[in-house]
Structure 1
Amino acid sequence: MIITFNEAIEQSAAYSKRHAILGNGFSIACRADIFHYGSLFDEADFSSCPEVKAVFSELGTQDFEAAIRALEGAAKILPAYVKDGDGAGEKMRAHASALKEILVKTIASNHPATPSEVSDLQFNKCRIFLANFLGQGGQIFTLNYDLLLYWTLMHDDDTDFGQVEINTNDGFGNDEDDPDADYVVWQGEVGAHNACVHFLHGALHLFDSGSELKKYTWVRTNRPLIEQIREAINVDTFPVFVSEGSSDQKKKKIRHNAYLYQGYKQLTANAVQSKHCFFIFGHSLAENDDHILNRLARGRFAHLFVGIYGDPDSDENKRIRKRAYEMTGMRHYKSPMEVTFFDAGSAEVWG
């Protein structure tokens, strides 16, 4: 049975806190022409490694992470089957790395230039959606790299559409050594305990300077964020960005970055709270994010609400539902997890 988003929210009122995990569907719902993998593939510049287009073709996909995963996996086993395969394997690894940079550049170059390209009504609708979590003491964990969530959190609600109260704390604040800097910095693990918004796989506006994690802002520079980001990328300064092929590779990168790992720990800490519940919106429950899904499956919270978009009986939605039920089977018998599916379209996240 598929219920509406509002019915899911009503059911979740039985729990002390509700949290949300946002996947790429959150951004696609706003701008499918930009954030869908197919759109990114069409806009990507593969001139630095033209052979990789054949990888996408052979896999029958336009999913960058799937191509990266295939290249890295093939590079490991090729020497066992092909004489002098080490050279080809090294090239595959280089192309996998190149694909990660191509993905970042493509998102940045095609990203809406300013928040004004999203209407006030859309931002208001999205803030109403987020308020179900951030207005109720819950937290948002996003797997997206783009600026849409950040723009929504920062959006001024002084419009004809009313005020929406949400907690926007993401753990960043003034640099104590340079409080007037044109950026803010992550406040570390202690400050992060009060954060309620976590970019689990990094984001376009987060840059690791070596000594600190910086968050680019508009309010301190009066320059569009995406303009600052594009300039940084053009000089080969890349944002914190987890686009590794497999779940294990993603988890390894997360563990080696203090900010990402703190978000991962916050997810884990909430997943073991028996009186909490989680919503998954815009995510396909794909295995390359098992480092996230397994934390939920092995947690102790009582109820998981999973968004389904489109025909519930489509092959993709059948796969998602099967995967969700498999997650319930990973639970300890003393902490069972109920799964409920809701119609993602009924959330009307962007109006």
Structure 2
Amino acid sequence: MLSFDEVLKNLTAKKRTSSLLMGNGFSMSYDKDIFSYNALFNFIASKDDALINKLFGAIKTKNFELVMQQLDTTISLLNAFDADDDLKKQIVNAAEHLKKGLLDSIQQLHPEHVFKMAEEKSAICAKFLSFFLATGGHIFSTNYDLLLYWVLMRQAVPDAIDGFGRELLNAQELALGKQEAEWSGLVWGPNTDKQNVHYLHGALHIFDSGKDILKEQYDSAGYILENIKTRLNDGIYPVFVTAGNGDEKLNHIMHNRYLTHCYEELSKVDGSVVTFGFNFGPYDEHIIEALNKAAHAQSKKPPKLWSIYIGVYSQADADHIESIRHKFHCKVQIFDAKTANVWCEN
């Protein structure tokens, strides 16, 4: 099995654009007591929410995605058999309640603000991320939390562009010299042509107002998590994909223009992709589909995906990747994710 240093040497020798695809293992490697599914389950269980406890008890799992998949399947079956509308409404409400519980738990478990993250950890992670951006590559994350955003912001990682910016609101009045410049909050759009940081399943700090995609930020009112909490208390929820299976996730993605853009960027990724903390589980078929679209580019010139280096933590993980190797339409290599040193030096 390759080490991460060997992966970097291979990519550097080929002078190839290299992108990063991250899953929950990125956050778990920062703090597994906060970001593992078991930690989230245990936290929600401690809230003694009768409906959520009933759902997990009935399906006998701690896996949120599996519960969501079962609920989605149940709704589809009820629709197919023209079941009672009240029953369907109960299931839909249960699914929404679970999403809210998951979102609230992530927000409450989260480190309070960016400065709670150790400077050393943040700097080491920035170095890890910078390699990919320096090659002209992209960073793709399926995580909902703020860790990636915080590292990029705190360390001012060069060339990291998430597509958000401010728009001039009174250009005509300014041109006539009648007013001082007035700028919008952070909206998605001004920098999409240069965007190289993509939250494939949304994130805590990204909201859809119906008109604009907004990014929550620090301001004089308080830290970003405080501002997010204010929105949650007002019943405004982030862009957040929690559907159970890959088809349902893709359907959700294609109904949001921000998510669609991010997914399309993955579908035309160039060079090589390195994964960290992403296990290509049974609910990730839409991600494999996007990568295969990139691999099927008609030209032998960029953009075209040539290879993927998949990080694994155990022999069981490696065996799983071997069992699905045939699903990938590009060269697949496996490396030891424990050698990547994302948050700390060996």
Q: Per-residue displacement from partner, 1:108-157 (whole Å, max 9, x unpaired)?
A: 11111111221111001101110120122110011011100000001146
Structure 1 unaligned spans of 5+: 158-164, 332-336
Q: Secondary structure at the match of 1:299?
A: helix
Match of 1:290 among 270, 274, 285: 285
CA–CA separation in structure 2 for the residues paired with 1:130 and 1:210 = 32
CA contact (8 A) 2:169 2:184 kept: no
Aligned-partner Cα distance in 1 for 2:46–2:259: 29
Matched, 1:113 2:106: no
Is the Cα–Cα contact under 8 Å of residues 75 and 90 in structure 1 kept in the other structure? Answer: no
In structure 2, how many angstroms separate the alpha carbons of the residues matched to 1:149 and 1:11? 25
* Residue 11 of structure 1: aligned partner: 10
**Superposed structure 1 runs of 4+ greater than 3 Å apart:** 45-49, 57-60, 78-81, 83-90, 178-183
1:168 aligns with 2:163: no
**Alpha-carbon distance in 2 for matches of 1:258, 1:28:** 29
Amino acid at match of 1:134: L
1:115-264 alignment, distance < 5 Å = 115-156=114-155, 166-177=158-169, 183-187=185-189, 191-218=191-218, 220-221=219-220, 223-264=222-263
Q: Distance in 2 between matches of 1:180 and 1:40?
A: 41
Render the CA deviation track for 1:183-217: whole Å, top value 9, x for unaligned: 311116xx312011011111101111121111111
Q: Which moved more, 1:91-100 or 1:58-67?
A: 58-67
When normalised by structure 1's length, the TM-score is 0.85
Aligned equivalents of 1:53 and 1:326: distance in 2? 38
What's the counterpart of residue 74 of structure 1? 74
Question: Does the C-alpha gap of structure 1 residues 79 and 174 become closer, same or farther in structure 2, counting only changes over 3 Å?
Answer: closer
Q: Deviations over 1:249-278 (max 9, x none)?
A: 2111211111111111111121xx4xx000
Separation of aligned partners in 1, 2:221 and 2:274: 35
Partner of 1:266: 265
Cα offset for 1:287? 2.5
1:52 CA displacement: 3.8
CA distance in 1, matches of 2:166, 2:251: 29
Gaps in structure 2 of 5+ consecutive residues: 171-180, 296-304
Compute the displacement of 1:11 (Å). 1.2
Change (3 A) 1:181 1:289: farther
Partner Cα separation in structure 1 for residue 2 and residue 231 of structure 2 = 44
Task: Give the number of aligned pairs.
Answer: 324
Structure 1 contact 182–217 (Cα < 8 Å) conserved? no
Answer with 241-250 or 139-148: which moved more: 241-250
Letter matched to residue 145 of structure 1: Y
Whether contact under 8 Å (1:100, 1:244) holds in the other structure is no
Match of 1:303 among 296, 302, 307: 307
1:44 aligns with 2:36: no
173-182 vs 91-100, which deviates more?
A: 173-182
CA displacement at 1:182 relative to structure 2: 7.7
RMSD of aligned Cα (Å): 2.4
How much does 1:176 deviate? 2.2
